[in-house]
Amino acid sequence: MDAIQKALKKLSPQERERIKDILVKLLSGNTKGLDIKKLKGRDDIFRIRKGDLRIVYQKEEKSIFILLVER
């Protein structure tokens, strides 16, 4: 089991649903309403904050890689 799966298991069902909604918006390109910031020193790594949840992801041409999910 990788780190992302472990982090998701620790979240409540409501938090997992919120993460799912955020990822669906991100993949569809509809980022309106999401608190997205680019991380310092990198042009391809971003973080999304929604309440007390954080998602760090890497964006390449047509791919998105989830690096971290945490409270």
Q: Using the structure block, give the residue that is written with the tokens 């991380």.
A: 39
pLDDT, residue 37, reads 95
Fold for 3-70, please state it: YaeB-like fold (3.30.2310)
List, for residues 8-39, the tens digit of each pLDDT value.
Answer: 899 999 999 999 999 999 888 888 889 999 99
Q: Look at residue 62 in the predicted model and tell me its pLDDT.
A: 81
As a whole number, the mean pLDDT across the chain is 90
Which residues lie closer than 8 Å to 52 by C-beta, 6 or more apart? Answer: 71
Q: Where does the pLDDT of residue 4 fall: very low under 50, low under 70, confident under 90, or very high at 90 and above? A: confident
**DSSP H or E stretch at residue 65:** strand 64-70
Residue 1 per-residue DSSP state = -
